[in-house]
Amino acid sequence: MSFENGHLKVGGRTKGVPNRISKEIKDLIGAFLYAEMVSLPDSFRLIKSPEKKLDILIKLLPFIVPKPQDLGLENLPDRKLSAILEILTDESERKVGNN
């Protein structure tokens, strides 16, 4: 029997209550990863290949250092670009007026 529109929800989780199984799995994986983090430096030292070490470092780097963002003018919204142009225009007019 399929759900019919207009009927109230009966049974199941109430709104906002997390799925118990999902939470338990996340907690279990989190505990495992936390325990492995302690042995990570020793495991890293055991790796002989410089290429593998570099590959691991490259994969871990984004978790520590944010990726640089392109700061080109073409990526700025029009209102910010207008504000920058206004500031630059005001500064150049002041320099011309002082000379």
Q: Is the distance from CB of 11 to CB of 5 less than 8 angstroms?
A: no
Higher per-residue confidence, 2 vs 54: 54
pLDDT in tens, 8-57: 767 777 777 777 788 899 999 999 999 988 998 999 999 999 999 999 99
Residue 6 has what DSSP assignment?
Answer: T
What does the block give as tokens for 22? 């999902």
**What is residue 9's predicted lDDT score, i.e. its pLDDT?**
67
**Residue 70 in this model has a pLDDT that exceeds 90:** no
**Residue 74 in this model has a pLDDT that exceeds 70:** yes
pTM for the full predicted model? 0.42
**Residue 89 in this model has a pLDDT that exceeds 80:** yes
Q: Give the HSE-up count for residue 80: Cα atoms under 13 Å, Cβ half-sphere.
A: 7
**Residue 77 in this model has a pLDDT that exceeds 70:** yes
**What is residue 44's predicted lDDT score, i.e. its pLDDT?**
93
**What is residue 18's predicted lDDT score, i.e. its pLDDT?**
74
- For the chain, the domains span 17-67, 69-99
